[in-house]
Amino acid sequence: MSIKYSAARKKWIGASVVFLILISLLVITFVTNCDTEPELIVAPHDREVIANQEPAEPNDIKQSVFTERLEDRKEMVTRQIAARDVNDMSVLAAMRKVPRHAFIPAGRRRYAYVDSALPIEHGQTISQPYIVAFMTEALQLDPNSKVLEIGTGSGYQAAVCAEIAREVYTIEIVEELAAGAAKLLKELGYDNVFVKAGDGFFGWPEHAPFDAVIGTAAAGRVPKPLLEQLKPGGRMILPVEGRFGFQHLILITKDEKGNLQERNVMPVRFVPMTGEVQKPEKKNED
């Protein structure tokens, strides 16, 4: 019995020694590898994941925000706009494309595609989607149109017009809003929109005449400089406040001889236009 026990013990000791040698070799290998920088091998599909983790450039922001909430925009156009007889295909396409939620403060973005105007910064609003579409259609824009907008606000209306027109010049009297809209429009790739902080009453004479003029704040009268800067054959739409505070959208057309025609097209409610228009009308301002 003692001989068998001794043999078994020798085998156990031998196995233990082999095991310890193997462990020592593994430890040495691990330590050696940790002392040098490992080579990184990345498969092609992993490269895309790594790129997506890098800080977004403006083009990345544009691509991501335009692909968000597509179904919400489609439903908005179908139920709120096309169902109310806005039929211009270029306008419907622009309303489907422009990401309205990007122009709304973060805390209210869940309401971006409801059938309503929404508050933005500095006591201003972003207009109801239907009103944006209706006013854009009324201008009868084409790819060669040059547009003047009075009241940039968030920049949403300018973006919609920019999807159709060649150039959009937009003026905002609140400097902070103008700066914010300019930054956002640039990030979204609207390099055909030009933003200026200033009083829209005087228009933008350096770039006149305009094929179309659109106003997004209600004035007590139509500013004469805007009429002068409207090109013969052009169209203007803006809200005007009449007696007892009631507002109407006014559509003005100028024929090739410079004659103006005006008609009320819809009762509305816009924020008031501020600046020069609030001063008493001068006697020489017909």
For the chain, domains (ranges, CATH) are: 58-278 (3.40.50.150)
Choose from 14-28, 33-47, 62-76, 199-213 the range with maximum mean pLDDT.
199-213
Q: b vs e for 132-141, b when ≥16 Cβ sit within 10 Å of the residue's Cβ?
A: bbbbbbbbbb
pLDDT digits (tens, 9 = 90+) for 60-107: 566 689 999 999 999 999 999 999 999 999 999 999 999 999 999 999
pTM over 0.85: no
- Determine what percent of the chain is predicted with pLDDT higher than 90: 68
pLDDT digits (tens, 9 = 90+) for 218-265: 888 999 999 999 999 999 999 998 877 899 999 999 999 999 999 999
Q: Is the pLDDT of residue 21 over 70?
A: no
pLDDT digits (tens, 9 = 90+) for 112-134: 999 999 999 998 999 999 999 99
Choose from 1-5, 6-10, 46-50 the range with maximum mean pLDDT.
6-10
Residue 50: CB partners within 8 Å, gap ≥ 6? 42
Distances (CA, A) of 222 to 216, 225, 278: 12, 9, 11
Residue 254: CB partners within 8 Å, gap ≥ 6? 227, 230, 231, 232, 233, 234, 235, 236, 260
pLDDT for the residue 3: 43
pLDDT for the residue 63: 67
Tell me the catalytic residues: 127
Q: Across the strands, what pairs with 103?
A: none
